[in-house]
Chain A
Amino acid sequence: AQSVTQLDSHVSVSEGTPVLLRCNYSSSYSPSLFWYVQHPNKGLQLLLKYTSAATLVKGINGFEAEFKKSETSFHLTKPSAHMSDAAEYFCVVTANYGGATNKLIFGTGTLLAVQP
């Protein structure tokens, strides 16, 4: 079975400072991992994905995440926060096994606030 835990429900940073959003996963199979961002009243936008290639994944808008199997983590980082980064972020896992359609398992989300 797959699950994902986002360790912080709210994170507040100042503009220009680093962002760290934490995510731990559990998976019986080799996982695919994703980070999605959702701005208020908008749909979900894919930030980046890990699908068993390079463990350091670069995404859009300067975000990146590192897959650490030994720590079962997939934390999202950005060197310098921008006001436009304020949004809800979801860590998502799915399993890499064949057969029936694999479902996405969502974390509970982290609300990122960026202070001027």
Chain B
Amino acid sequence: DAMVIQNPRYQVTQFGKPVTLSCSQTLNHNVMYWYQQKSSQAPKLLFHYYDKDFNNEADTPDNFQSRRPNTSFCFLDIRSPGLGDAAMYLCATSNHYPREGYTFGSGTRLTVV
């Protein structure tokens, strides 16, 4: 089945140690999104790629970066994780304009120790 896959499901990292989260998709969607979701909150959009074009949200900290080497893969890099970055990170994809909604991955739960 076509899907969005996030690895790993759970990630523990040390305070200040760079960490990378991975997302891959078999849907051939041209748009990929990264969301941060803290406990009991709605997901918050960090940035998205429209094809190769990177679109950052105005309030996304510089500590968060992203790479999209090809259509199928997108990475979220946190350069120096702080305790406040502990959250669920959700990857999503859509085909052009998301009138049909997004397809979400299962998420990566990040713990910072």
Give me the interface of A with B, judged by CB distance under 8 Å: 32, 34, 36, 41-46, 49, 51, 90, 92, 94, 96, 98, 100-104, 106-109, 111
Measured between C-beta atoms, what is the minimum distance from B47 to chain A in Å?
11
A42 touches B107 (CB 8 A): yes
Q: Give B97 Cβ to nearest chain A Cβ, in Å.
A: 6
Q: A101-B50, A102-B98 are in contact. Are A43 and B105 (CB under 8 A)?
A: yes
Chain B, 7-48, CB within 8 A of any chain A CB: 31, 40-43, 45, 48
B-side interface size class: 20 to 34
For A88, give the chain B residue with the smallest CB separation: B40
CB of B55 within 8 A of CB of A101, answer yes
Whole-angstrom distance between the Cβ of B43 and the nearest chain A Cβ: 6
- CB-nearest residue of chain B to A48: B101
On B, residues with C-beta under 8 Å from A are 4, 6, 31, 40-43, 45, 48, 50, 55, 88, 90, 92, 94, 96-107, 109
What residue of chain A has the Cβ atom nearest to residue B102's Cβ?
A104
How long is the Cα–Cα vector from A42 to B6 in the complex, in angstroms? Answer: 11
A98 touches B106 (CB 8 A): no
Residue of B nearest to A96 (CB): B99
Contact A98 B97 (CB under 8 A): yes
Complex Cα gap A77–B98 (Å)? 24
Q: Which of A42, A94, A106 contacts B43 (CB 8 A)?
A: A106
Cα distance, A107 to B109, chains bound together (Å): 21
